[in-house]
Amino acid sequence: MVHLGPKKPQARKGSMADVPKELMDEIHQLEDMFTVDSETLRKVVKHFIDELNKGLTKKGGNIPMIPGWVMEFPTGKESGNYLAIDLGGTNLRVVLVKLSGNHTFDTTQSKYKLPHDMRTTKHQEELWSFIADSLKDFMVEQELLNTKDTLPLGFTFSYPASQNKINEGILQRWTKGFDIPNVEGHDVVPLLQNEISKRELPIEIVALINDTVGTLVASYYTDPETKMGVIFGTGVNGAFYDVVSDIEKLEGKLADDIPSNSPMAINCEYGSFDNEHLVLPRTKYDVAVDEQSPRPGQQAFEKMTSGYYLGELLRLVLLELNEKGLMLKDQDLTKLKQPYIMDTSYPARIEDDPFENLEDTDDIFQKDFGVKTTLPERKLIRRLCELIGTRAARLAVCGIAAICQKRGYKTGHIAADGSVYNKYPGFKEAAAKGLRDIYGWTGDASNDPITIVPAEDGSGAGAAVIAALSEKRIAEGKSLGIIGA
């Protein structure tokens, strides 16, 4: 393909002069549906705070607010060699982390592609065997097998998993399209540790970590201004340090050596915010995404904000416009009719298309979906991608504002990671703008008191620091969780 101009994003809204009225009307309707004003954002934040608080009560609520049993702030002096693994949607990442003890760390890592269909295999053993085999390969590559000492491992498992102690994770329910039977309701640590032991690998899982908690701790290790760890990726979630005495549901459950003023990292699991559908401005497309998902009624907030669903929203709108006879007329839409065929890289690449005639978008539709598009159609598609991405960013930061307001944080850094944050064009700017709108900050954005900053490697360094903190507690004979766990 010949690139005619500099590969640089042009004004996000190109000229709409040549878009016929019937498509323009649709664009305006989509703008109305997908635009979330500041007042709505503030309403969402208000309800969010109530729901976060509810999640900490004994009765509980929609948001799980899971204590992560990280009860220290890292000092930056933690040191030693640790293994970390991160089970993502497409890859398993294995990392050897060397914590230097002076706020810095080194990592060596390998990625292992999850076999096709592993997300929905019927046999859960296959998942744990795959992880243990990958760990073995890594140990061989890195010549770690002959070490006498057992290597402590931090397991980043980014699904809602209840923890009565740091080295436990009872899966509440799969999210992000995973659907493997006989894991929900079980502690995943022994499931993996068994497979590790079968292979006689000198590895002990000392901590199970949510990615948000890892992000929080890794970023705190290098920057004590960190107030939250957040993920804007396949899923959306956040973690922060609460104080034990403010966590009602832990009352009477804690061993004496955990003081009431102890910090406690909380994995909010706020992707499930507003499962009751009280405040989020859902469109009919959001309703359809939910109804057609493997877990209808769950992860309401995540379904409007996270990477797993953004391409699907785009696809559903396009199909509806086609059914109304407005676009992609007389085309074979067989491919486009496949659920989830458009992952988030599609809206991201379409938004990034630098050409006046949206040539990249044209290519994408022809090559990947066998569909020819007209320029006005592509203009609608591009505008729709902007709307979906901007809405996701603005809603996603409501979780941040809610935690900050709940904890009374007036300043600080929010450490963010995830594919959408790192790769979706315009997301960072839209997220910052969303926060400004919620708080009513005016003036130079570089003076914003709360800023979202790129995180340190949560599932590598974060998992390692947490493993180190956990080992230290074990060495000091301190409890790792609730009484008797």
Nearer to ligand GLC, 238 or 376 (CB): 238
Between 186 and 436, name the residue whose CB sits nearer to ligand GLC: 186
Which parts of 140-169 interact with ligand GLC (CB under 6 A)?
Answer: 158-160
Q: CB-wise, 235 or 347, nearer to ligand GLC?
A: 235
Alpha-carbon torsion, ordered 167, 173, 178, 180, to 10 deg: 80
* 3-state secondary structure at position 418: coil
Spell out a b/e string for 310-325, using b for 16 or more CB atoms within 10 Å of the CB, else e: bbbbbbbbbbebbeee
User: In the complex, what is the shortest distance from the CB of residue 419 to ligand GLC, in angstroms, rounded to a whole number?
Assistant: 10
* Residue 305 Cβ vs ligand GLC, minimum distance, rounded to whole Å: 10
Cβ atoms within 10 Å of 351's Cβ, excluding its own: 23
C-alpha to C-alpha distances, 62 to 7, 50, 269, 281, 365, nearest whole angstrom = 45, 11, 9, 18, 39
Interaction mask 436-455, ligand GLC, x per CB under 6 A = --------------------
Q: Which of 62, 121, 175, 193 binds ligand GLC (CB under 6 A)?
A: 175
Query: Is position 211 annotated as part of the catalytic site?
Result: yes
Amino acid, res. 213: V
**Catalytic-labelled residue, pool 158, 293, 306, 470:** 158
- Shortest distance (Å) from residue 86 CB to ligand GLC: 10
Residue closer to ligand GLC by CB (options 236, 387) is 236
Tell me if 468 sits within 8 A of 79, measured CB to CB: yes
Residues 6+ apart with CB under 8 A from 140: none
Q: How far is the CB of 231 from ligand GLC (least distance, A)?
A: 4
Where does residue 451 rank: exposed (0-12), middle (13-18), buried (19+ CB within 10 A)? middle
| 237 lines the binding site for ligand GLC (CB under 6 A) | yes
Residue 223 annotated among the catalytic residues of the structure: no
* Secondary structure (DSSP) of 269-314: -GGGTTTT-SSS---HHHHHHHHTSSSTTS-HHHHHHSHHHHHHHH
Q: Which residue from 47, 93, 165, 176 is in contact with ligand GLC, where contact means CB under 6 A?
A: 176
189, two tokens = 């640590």
| Residue 302 binds to ligand GLC (criterion: CB under 6 A) | yes
Residue 307 as a binder of ligand GLC (CB under 6 A): the answer is no
Q: Which is nearer to ligand GLC, 171 or 254 (CB)?
A: 171
Nearer to ligand GLC, 307 or 347 (CB): 307
Q: What six digits make up the tokens of 39?
A: 């007042």
User: What character string, x for contact with ligand GLC (CB under 6 A) and - otherwise, covers 8-47?
Assistant: ----------------------------------------
Catalytic-labelled residue, pool 173, 383, 391, 394: 173
Q: Which of 86, 187, 195, 269 binds ligand GLC (CB under 6 A)?
A: 269
Phi-psi label, residue 200: left if phi above 0, alpha if psi -120 to 50, beta otherwise: left
Catalytic status, residue 86: no
For 101, the 3-state DSSP assignment is coil
Among 265, 272, 262, 260, which residue's Cα sits nearest to residue 228? 265
Q: Interface with ligand GLC by CB under 6 A: which range of 51-59, 96-104, 199-207, 234-242?
A: 234-242
Nearer to ligand GLC, 212 or 275 (CB): 212
On whether the CB atoms of residues 226 and 403 are closer than 8 A, the answer is no
Residue of this chain nearest to ligand GLC (CB atom): 235
Name the minimum Å distance from CB 232 to ligand GLC.
Answer: 8
Task: Yes or no: say if 175 and 271 are a contact pair by the CB < 8 Å rule.
Answer: yes
Q: Which one of the listed residues 86, 93, 134, 211 is annotated catalytic? A: 211
End-to-end CA separation in angstroms for the chain: 61
Q: Which is nearer to ligand GLC, 27 or 453 (CB)?
A: 453
x/- letters, 187..216, toward ligand GLC (CB under 6 A): -----------------------xxx----
DSSP 8-state assignment for residue 76: S
By DSSP bridging, strand 412-417 and strand 450-454 are parallel
233 lies in the binding site for ligand GLC (CB under 6 A): yes
* Least Cβ distance, residue 459 to ligand GLC (angstroms): 10
Q: At what angle do helices 124-141 and 188-198 cross, to 10 degrees?
A: 50
Active-site positions?
158, 173, 211
Q: Which residues bind ligand GLC (CB under 6 A)?
A: 158-160, 175-176, 210-212, 231, 233-237, 269, 271, 302
